[in-house]
Chains A and B, each alone.
Chain A
């Protein structure tokens, strides 16, 4: 079973700054299929990125995903006030279990 480890646990930044969130897999994701979700308090998760680097419908282009093998990154180019939330990575594709990372909390500095 693939274990996904996200870092940092908490990231403190200011609006306008660039955010870089990491997700490392315990073994290579053979299909390079990784998804990223945003979750705000009291809300369901929202899909941001699928297939490692493709933005879901309606997601602003300040969100981008990259990576391959075991190392994946979510980048938010210029933080908006509404971007402060918790972010989760997840293994997607054809092979369960569809494990999630433990999350990175992006907070306002």
Chain B
């Protein structure tokens, strides 16, 4: 079974803090994604990566950056957390048949 793990299920941070969200997959997938999920908006793509050190902006990249130093690990970074970044963050890894496998999510609260 494909496994996608995220470093934290719940996280509380203060405004202005730098926040790291980690995602690890164990199936050697090249493509990995970070989404945020908000009620009524579905999932919105923040960034994706199609190979080590390769990244592309998604639909809402502002205020975020990413890092992919190793194939299995894709990190999302909030440079200076703000209250409007309070959300559920989902990481996904994509197989060659385009099926995406999701981690359990990180619920981030910024106070």
The finding on whether chains A and B are genuine partners in a shared complex, rather than unrelated, reads: no
Taking Cβ atoms with an 8 Å cutoff, the residues of B that contact A are: none
